[in-house]
A = this chain, B = another copy of it.
Amino acid sequence: MTSPARPGSQAPSEEVPIGPGGPRRALIVGTGLIGGSLGLGLRSRGWHVTGRDREPGRAEEARAMGALDALGEDLEAEVVFVATPVGAVAALATEVLGTPGRRPDCVVSDVGGVKGPVVEAVPHPRFVGGHPMAGSEQIGVAGADADLFVGATWVLTPTALTDTAAFGRLRGVVTQLGADVVVLSPADHDRLVAVVSHVPHLVAATLMNAAAQGAEEDAALLRLAAGGFRDMTRVAAGHPGIWPDICADNRPAIVAALDRLLADLAQTRQLVAGGQRRGLLELLDRASTARRALPARATRPDRLAELRVPVPDREGVLAEFTSLAGDLGINIYDIEIAHSAEGPRGVLVLVVGSDEAPALHQAVTAQGHRATVRELS
Q: Which residues of A contact B (CB under 8 A)?
A: 133-134, 153, 155, 180, 182, 184, 188-189, 192-193, 195-197, 199-212, 214, 216-226, 228-241, 243-244, 247-248, 251, 254-255, 257-262, 264-266, 268-269, 271-273, 275, 277, 280-281, 283-288, 290-292, 294-295, 298, 326, 329-331
- B202 adjacent to A203 (CB under 8 Å): no
Of B206, B244, B269, B329, which contacts A218 at CB under 8 A?
A: B329
> Which residue of chain B lies nearest to A198 when distances are taken between CB atoms in the complex?
B272
> Which residue of chain B lies nearest to A218 when distances are taken between CB atoms in the complex?
B329
List B contacts of A214 (CB < 8 A): 192, 195
Of B203, B212, B258, which contacts A272 at CB under 8 A?
A: B258
Q: How long is the Cα–Cα vector from A197 to B277 in the complex, in angstroms? A: 19
| Known A-B contacts A272-B251, A295-B222; A260 and B197 likewise in contact (beta carbons under 8 Å) | no
> Which residue of chain B lies nearest to A201 when distances are taken between CB atoms in the complex?
B228
> Which residue of chain B lies nearest to A277 when distances are taken between CB atoms in the complex?
B244
Of B200, B224, B234, B257, which contacts A291 at CB under 8 A?
A: B234
**Interchain Cβ contacts under 8 Å between A and B, 14 examples:** A188-B220, A192-B218, A195-B214, A205-B268, A205-B287, A219-B329, A219-B331, A222-B294, A233-B294, A241-B281, A244-B277, A248-B275, A258-B265, A265-B265
- A182 CB to nearest chain B CB (Å): 5
Q: How long is the Cα–Cα vector from A329 to B218 in the complex, in angstroms? A: 5
> Which residue of chain B lies nearest to A267 when distances are taken between CB atoms in the complex?
B206
> Which residue of chain B lies nearest to A260 when distances are taken between CB atoms in the complex?
B210
Of B153, B205, B236, B287, which contacts A208 at CB under 8 A?
A: B287
Among A233, A280, A287, the one with the most B-chain Cβ atoms within 10 Å of its Cβ is: A287
Q: How long is the Cα–Cα vector from A225 to B198 in the complex, in angstroms? A: 11
> Which residue of chain B lies nearest to A331 when distances are taken between CB atoms in the complex?
B219
- A272 adjacent to B294 (CB under 8 Å): no
- B232 adjacent to A284 (CB under 8 Å): no
> Which residue of chain B lies nearest to A284 when distances are taken between CB atoms in the complex?
B240
> Which residue of chain B lies nearest to A273 when distances are taken between CB atoms in the complex?
B255
List B contacts of A241 (CB < 8 A): 281
Q: How long is the Cα–Cα vector from A193 to B192 in the complex, in angstroms? A: 32
Q: How long is the Cα–Cα vector from A233 to B272 in the complex, in angstroms? A: 19
**Further pairs besides A203-B265, A240-B287: 6, Cβ < 8 Å:** A200-B229, A200-B232, A207-B261, A237-B288, A239-B288, A258-B269
- B272 adjacent to A202 (CB under 8 Å): yes
> Which residue of chain B lies nearest to A225 when distances are taken between CB atoms in the complex?
B196
List B contacts of A211 (CB < 8 A): 195-196, 290
- A268 adjacent to B218 (CB under 8 Å): no
- B192 adjacent to A221 (CB under 8 Å): yes
List B contacts of A268 (CB < 8 A): 202, 205-206, 258
Q: How long is the Cα–Cα vector from A228 to B232 in the complex, in angstroms? A: 8
- B262 adjacent to A265 (CB under 8 Å): yes
- B251 adjacent to A209 (CB under 8 Å): no
- A188 adjacent to B218 (CB under 8 Å): yes
- A312 CB to nearest chain B CB (Å): 26
